[in-house]
Amino acid sequence: MLHKFLEPGYWFAPKKLGYGAGLPIAWQGWALLLSYMALVIGIGVFMSSLGDSGIAAGVALIFLVTIPFLMIVKRRTEGGWKWRP
């Protein structure tokens, strides 16, 4: 199943207006988006139970998870990310 994620192709449609990616257009994009959302929610729930230091650690972890997510989305967006007026 992992080999399906390594196949060439686009997973996200470009935004019609503005900069960035729109909704996923392939199941790999939906799987990536749902996994990211579950991970961020899980980090938020777990770290909020730890108090103030947990919140700071949670924000740092979410930041570290978001960077690779955005890199993958940018690479897998049809037409790339550019400003669309």
Range of the domain at 41: 25-77
Residue 68 to residue 4: CA distance in whole angstroms: 19
Residue 79, burial from CB neighbour count under 10 angstroms (0-12, 13-18, 19+): exposed
Task: Judge whether 72 lies within some domain.
Answer: yes
Task: Judge whether 17 lies within some domain.
Answer: no
In whole angstroms, what separates CA 84 from the centre of its chain?
21
Task: Judge whether 37 lies within some domain.
Answer: yes
Task: Judge whether 82 lies within some domain.
Answer: no
Task: Judge whether 29 lies within some domain.
Answer: yes
How confident is the model at residue 80, as a pLDDT?
80
Tally of domains within the chain = 1
Task: Judge whether 6 lies within some domain.
Answer: no
Task: Judge whether 51 lies within some domain.
Answer: yes
Mean of per-residue pLDDT scores for the chain = 85
Statement: residue 2 has pLDDT above 70: no
How confident is the model at residue 36, as a pLDDT?
96
Residue 63 to residue 80: CA distance in whole angstroms: 22
